[in-house]
Structure 1
């Protein structure tokens, strides 16, 4: 019979790529991890993992099973937190996911206020790009998301909104004309980022000729610091660069759109 321990062990191996790493993450022995994997695969009659050099990777069946396993564990976790909250609202747990800018710039103050009002409620927070946060919500691994506008057709309940201004910034003033914008290197977030998608849409709308050079960076902080260093210009949340604008490290560039 499949157990929750087997599911969690399987997902730990799927995430880390090896029995050794999964054992370290779960604080158990490698033999315990191997035994749980073997028992799970035997109960299903399927091979979920296969060798990949010195590590392990998911088979196609394993990929499908992992997606459903995450959703199942997410729902069980959601059921547990809901039951605890119903029995004692002041001793429950809130699972939050936030987009990078919101997690870095907005959420700390909000959480501080929340903890002051509800000191015994546990909070779990995960910060990531739009694609990562979307997956967490779909798999019921979080209760609440702090981020941008929901994608069209996605069934979510919007609890609150606030203005979110995006601006183009550089480390020195510029005219912001199409010719000038076309000559700049544009600093982009990684694929899956909402800010990247908006930037690409913005540049397409400008129809710059020739198309500008781009440089992809893996975090909001890396993009902003690269702009401060003069590596290029970027479209970024004004919330994320307020201090840099005030101190003169960055300047807002006027744009035609």
Structure 2
């Protein structure tokens, strides 16, 4: 069996994500013939059928789905290996973060980190928790700041910072949490899961309204559309201004610390960032604590 180049793996992944040869060609800015040739080459090398027609597009076979997972990991490791041989102070750091931590916590940390290490190339991805940990598992991200990672994934919690989830609503509407509409984040959100678990513990089945982002949830709460469970880090301004207030709900506040998570072999830049956020002389009250 011959080898498959990284470029052909990238092409195959584009096909799997786009669901068509044409879509992959457009994404990669190459011809459809080149895409088809790359997929055919891989299938010949593996001796397995990876794609099959479905309507006007294509879908992955079971072998194709398995191979796509390996391609993600292999390509992620190749990029990680390249970063690992560079000096930490001049390398690249890919950080993944959930929206709440990204807006209210990470930006301050990144600002001081960039001032301290201006030659490090930073990239930031903001996704729901489940997506971030999948990217980290495939070595497509170097470090994630979110809630606790799933068990048995091989991911390592390197540091944590205390945070709480509290229930809030608009004061002028005097909402009763047990009879109000509950405002939810989208699927894949750790806060959404915590909210649904809390409702189960309270043994209530209130009306719910799902909104796409924590910003939309907060805006809806301010307008009196319902109550919501939210990280205290995201509420400082609204609580101080009186736009929202904390509601007494049995079982809250919930301790839900932020976690800085990596694989077992983080690159030097990730280790440098961890050292930075663990240093209160550099980041003040935003500092994490070692695991």
Structure 1 residue runs without a partner (length 5+): none
- Give the match for residue 168 of structure 2: 169
Q: CA deviation at 1:222?
A: 2.5
Separation in structure 2 between the aligned mates of residue 164 and residue 187 of structure 1, nearest angstrom? 20
- Give the match for residue 187 of structure 1: 183
Q: Residue 50 of structure 1: SS of its match in structure 2?
A: strand
Q: Deviations over 1:39-94 (max 9, x none)?
A: 2222222222233333332222211111111111111111111112xxx2221111
Separation in structure 2 between the aligned mates of residue 247 and residue 105 of structure 1, nearest angstrom? 17
Which structure has more RCO (C-alpha within 8 Å, separation ≥ 6)? 2
Q: CA deviation at 1:203?
A: 1.3
Q: How many residues align?
A: 249
Indicate conservation of the 8 Å contact 1:174/1:253, yes or no: no
| Residue 28 (str. 1) matches residue 30 (str. 2) | yes
Large movers: runs of 4+ above 6 Å: none
Indicate conservation of the 8 Å contact 1:92/1:121, yes or no: yes
Q: CA deviation at 1:212?
A: 0.8
Separation in structure 2 between the aligned mates of residue 30 and residue 249 of structure 1, nearest angstrom? 55
- Give the match for residue 260 of structure 2: none
Separation in structure 2 between the aligned mates of residue 51 and residue 184 of structure 1, nearest angstrom? 48
- Give the match for residue 10 of structure 1: 12
* 3 and 155 in structure 1: CA distance in 2 versus 1, 3 angstrom threshold: closer
Aligned pairs (5 A) from 1:46-85? 46-84=48-86
Q: Deviations over 1:235-256 (max 9, x none)?
A: 1112223333333333322212
Q: CA deviation at 1:198?
A: 0.9
Q: Residue 235 of structure 2: SS of its match in structure 1?
A: helix
Q: Residue 226 of structure 1: SS of its match in structure 2?
A: helix
Aligned pairs (5 A) from 1:173-252? 180-208=176-204, 211-252=205-246
* 252 and 62 in structure 1: CA distance in 2 versus 1, 3 angstrom threshold: same
Q: CA deviation at 1:146?
A: 0.8
* 103 and 16 in structure 1: CA distance in 2 versus 1, 3 angstrom threshold: farther
Q: Residue 252 of structure 1: SS of its match in structure 2?
A: strand
Indicate conservation of the 8 Å contact 2:89/2:120, yes or no: yes
Q: CA deviation at 1:31?
A: 2.7
Q: CA deviation at 1:155?
A: 4.1
Indicate conservation of the 8 Å contact 2:181/2:207, yes or no: yes
Indicate conservation of the 8 Å contact 1:175/1:254, yes or no: no
> Which has the higher mean CA deviation after the structures are superposed, 245-254 or 99-108?
245-254
Q: CA deviation at 1:6?
A: 0.9
Q: Residue 236 of structure 1: SS of its match in structure 2?
A: strand
Structure 2 residue runs without a partner (length 5+): 252-291
Q: Residue 124 of structure 2: SS of its match in structure 1?
A: strand
Indicate conservation of the 8 Å contact 1:173/1:253, yes or no: no
Separation in structure 2 between the aligned mates of residue 196 and residue 62 of structure 1, nearest angstrom? 32
- Give the match for residue 113 of structure 1: 112
Query: What is the TM-score normalised by the length of structure 2?
Result: 0.78
Indicate conservation of the 8 Å contact 1:185/1:231, yes or no: yes
Separation in structure 1 between the aligned mates of residue 177 and residue 94 of structure 2, nearest angstrom? 41
Indicate conservation of the 8 Å contact 2:173/2:224, yes or no: no
Q: CA deviation at 1:154?
A: 4.8
